Structure 1
Amino acid sequence: MKKIAVFSTKSYDRTFLDEANTPPRYQLDYFETRLRPETLKLVEGYDGVSCFVNDKVDQSVLEALLAEGVGIIALRCAGFNNVDLETAQRLGIQVARVPNYSPESVAEHAVAMMLTLNRKITKAYNRVKEHNFDLEGLMGFNLSQATVGIIGTGKIGLATLRALKGFGCELLCHDPYPSDAGRALGEYVPLDELYRRSDVISLHCPLTEESYHLINQQSLAKMKPGVMIINTSRGALVNAQDALDGMKQGRIGYLGLDVYELEGDLFFRDLSDQVMHDDVFALLLSYPNVLVTGHQGYFTREALTEIAQTTLANLDAHFAGDKTGNELF
């Protein structure tokens, strides 16, 4: 039975992976710690490793994995910017991901963030808990009359478009590779036009050299004053310092972040008894028109089931000498 070291695990990861591994065909050993140079001793004697979004799989880690005989890295996520793919390919270590896991889960979370920010649900909830039923400061706008720009029309972007179509929004899209499915739901426009016309902008694109810090001082200057920005995709799409400056200047009226550029030191951990040393993030949290969730968008039963099953299928294919199509090279 092949042995797999599973890093960055929580109780829910174990539950769904064990279900997918029934009857047992792998020895899955779970580690709450992240894979990084400091934890490499844990991989001794394993045939493969499974990683998540904040595991650090750089050249030094890959070389150590190869020395231990690890032949596959089974990512439990769609993103792979935390893996040095060039080195992995050179060393002959296979990297496979989970490209699709209930795109509706992330899309619905994005829409939930839009509604929560717009209708100030968090502020209203806290008021009512204190028996304060005053409506001052709680006014929102009709989403049905808003123009929403969707950047990235892959599976998650399309699911978001479908959800928003039901609200009656005017929908704009931008993607380097327009699709017929996207055209059926919204209007493809140049990025600058999307910035100029949108009341709400939701990010659903991968992190690449071109999209790095897509939301920055220059792009914010092209947007409507008071624009709502939602990011449920990759943290580094948004320049956090520029977003903070945009909040101070009133360029951004609402900001919803399920991801954050430096989330590796924060998310998926309980830090409630510690001092936060990220000043930009701390200041963002202090704004009443900022909503942050800790990389929660994917977190549904359906998505976790799909992630576990696809991860095991990727392992099955690798050890059988086959491919699933989820391999990155």
Structure 2
Amino acid sequence: MEIVAYGVLADEEPLLRQAFGASPGDRHRLRCLTLFLDRDTAPTAAGHEVVLSSVNDTLDAEVLRTLAEGGTRMVAQRSTGYNNIDIAAAGKLGITVARVSSYSPYSVAEFAWTLALAVNRRIVRAAHRTRDFDFRLDGLMGRDLHGRTAGVVGTGKIGAAFARIAHGFGMRLLGCDVTENPDCTALGMRYVPAERLFAEADLVSLHVPLRPDTHHLVGSRALALMKDDAILVNSSRGGLVDTDALLQTLREGRLSGVGLDVYEEEAGVFFLDKSLQVMTDDRLARLMTFGNVLVTSHQAYFTQEAVTQIARTTADNVRDYLAGRSGDNTLVTPETAPSAAVAAGPGALVTGR
């Protein structure tokens, strides 16, 4: 059987092929495509029972209907988050959907700290200067993080890893989640309402999934509560931050730094080379003009360890489907109508990616 994978990155492909050839019983051909799965490209999946999707694919009801009509019976998402998939529609169409429920939390947590440190110490601006042999320090002053307050929104595996690093810096820890993580409280974290966290934190890092209740979690109200010299980091999902509200806050000269590895309109832009084209997204272009904003292209998860684990879990999910099994990674099967809990995802403010 030939399996088709969409949105496959160059560094990901060998790891994906290795994972699908790891079992002696594997007799499948893997067709890796760089193009993303959407309404225009969905017909290319015709004749493929199993489709491997990426986080930037669009699997709405129309795309899923096209897949089903072409013979697709299983979609294996190569990420933890699945807000890009219409789970209810998949169930009605008889399509099994699985995801990667977890992978190395350190990849994302460490990258979130990379963003935080880079914007705090003006690393990008400094690097650009020194490449031009400009060795002045004007405008490069940062702040000690030791003794300051880190606010961690979402304290699952990734948030907890971020908190441990913050603890190593000697920071006071505030957390916000529906369930307290004992590993975080052991570090001295105090769980507080979101409003208090935004108001008191010198550094706010987001580690929650994107769902209706977390959409624009950081909007005008939250940004108004934040300190003028606070740092905001989002390495989870772009839709957690209201871009228009963030732009207005930056125009007012507020926030010391912003590190964004995700952007709410990143689909069709991130993972692609747009250097020879006119950037038609005015909001993204405007973000790039602020010297205290650092935008990266959804690469927080992109370590060898994490991508290897994602590939292996995806291959296992396909093997389970072919064997008629379902497990913790299965979101919906033709035999089970998606419940409200599955369709909505886990409880509010629980970490996922």
- Find the counterpart in structure 1 of residue 337 from structure 2: none
Q: Per-residue deviation at 1:225?
A: 1.3
Do the aligned residues in 1 keep the contact of 2:43 with 2:70 (CA within 8 Å)? no
Do the aligned residues in 2 keep the contact of 1:7 with 1:34 (CA within 8 Å)? yes
Do the aligned residues in 1 keep the contact of 2:204 with 2:233 (CA within 8 Å)? yes
Q: Which residue, out of 99, 102, 111, partners 1:100?
A: 102
Spell out, residue by residue over 1:149-194, the C-alpha distance to the aligned partner (whole angstroms, 9 max, x if none). 0000111111111111111111110001222222223111111110
1:289 pairs with 2:288? no
- Find the counterpart in structure 2 of residue 134 from structure 1: 136
Spell out, residue by residue over 1:267-299, the C-alpha distance to the aligned partner (whole angstroms, 9 max, x if none). 000111011011111111011100000001001
Q: Per-residue deviation at 1:79?
A: 0.9
- Find the counterpart in structure 1 of residue 279 from structure 2: 276
Structure 2 letter corresponding to 1:11: A
Do the aligned residues in 1 keep the contact of 2:101 with 2:328 (CA within 8 Å)? no
TM-score normalised by length of structure 1: 0.97
Mapped partners of 2:27, 2:206: distance in 1: 39
TM-score normalised by length of structure 2: 0.91
Please give the residue correspondences for 1:289-328 in structure 2 after superposition, counting only pairs within 5 Å: 289-328=292-331
Q: Which residue, out of 237, 240, 243, partners 1:240?
A: 243
Do the aligned residues in 1 keep the contact of 2:43 with 2:66 (CA within 8 Å)? no
Which secondary structure does the structure 2 equivalent of 1:28 belong to? Answer: strand
Please give the residue correspondences for 1:61-76 in structure 2 after superposition, counting only pairs within 5 Å: 61-76=63-78
Mapped partners of 2:69, 2:133: distance in 1: 62
Do the aligned residues in 1 keep the contact of 2:153 with 2:206 (CA within 8 Å)? yes
Q: Which residue, out of 168, 189, 208, partners 1:166?
A: 168
Mapped partners of 2:42, 2:140: distance in 1: 51
- Find the counterpart in structure 1 of residue 186 from structure 2: 184
Mapped partners of 1:292, 1:229: distance in 2: 12
Do the aligned residues in 2 keep the contact of 1:247 with 1:253 (CA within 8 Å)? no
- Once the two structures are overlaid, the 10-residue window that deviates more, 319-328 or 23-32, is 23-32
1:252 pairs with 2:258? no
- Find the counterpart in structure 1 of residue 344 from structure 2: none
Do the aligned residues in 2 keep the contact of 1:313 with 1:324 (CA within 8 Å)? no
Q: Per-residue deviation at 1:53?
A: 1.0
Mapped partners of 2:27, 2:78: distance in 1: 18
Do the aligned residues in 2 keep the contact of 1:235 with 1:261 (CA within 8 Å)? yes
Structure 2 letter corresponding to 1:256: G
- Find the counterpart in structure 1 of residue 86 from structure 2: 84
Do the aligned residues in 2 keep the contact of 1:102 with 1:302 (CA within 8 Å)? yes
Mapped partners of 1:74, 1:12: distance in 2: 19
Which secondary structure does the structure 1 equivalent of 2:4 belong to? Answer: strand
Equivalenced residue count is 328
Q: Per-residue deviation at 1:69?
A: 2.2
Mapped partners of 2:263, 2:227: distance in 1: 23
Spell out, residue by residue over 1:43-100, the C-alpha distance to the aligned partner (whole angstroms, 9 max, x if none). 1111110001111111111112222221110001111011000111122211111121
Structure 2 letter corresponding to 1:13: E
- Find the counterpart in structure 2 of residue 11 from structure 1: 10
Which secondary structure does the structure 2 equivalent of 1:33 belong to? Answer: coil
Percent identical: 41
Q: CA RMSD in A?
A: 1.1
Q: Per-residue deviation at 1:116?
A: 0.6
- Once the two structures are overlaid, the 10-residue window that deviates more, 265-274 or 22-31, is 22-31
- Find the counterpart in structure 2 of residue 21 from structure 1: 20
- Find the counterpart in structure 1 of residue 340 from structure 2: none
Which secondary structure does the structure 2 equivalent of 1:92 belong to? Answer: coil
- Find the counterpart in structure 2 of residue 36 from structure 1: 38
Q: Per-residue deviation at 1:6?
A: 0.5
Structure 2 letter corresponding to 1:20: A
Which secondary structure does the structure 2 equivalent of 1:269 belong to? Answer: coil
Which secondary structure does the structure 2 equivalent of 1:260 belong to? Answer: coil
- Find the counterpart in structure 2 of residue 225 from structure 1: 228
- Normalized per residue, the structure richer in helix is 1
Do the aligned residues in 1 keep the contact of 2:120 with 2:256 (CA within 8 Å)? no
Which secondary structure does the structure 2 equivalent of 1:105 belong to? Answer: helix
Which secondary structure does the structure 1 equivalent of 2:106 belong to? Answer: helix
1:208 pairs with 2:211? yes
Mapped partners of 1:130, 1:57: distance in 2: 45
Q: Per-residue deviation at 1:322?
A: 1.0
Do the aligned residues in 2 keep the contact of 1:226 with 1:250 (CA within 8 Å)? no
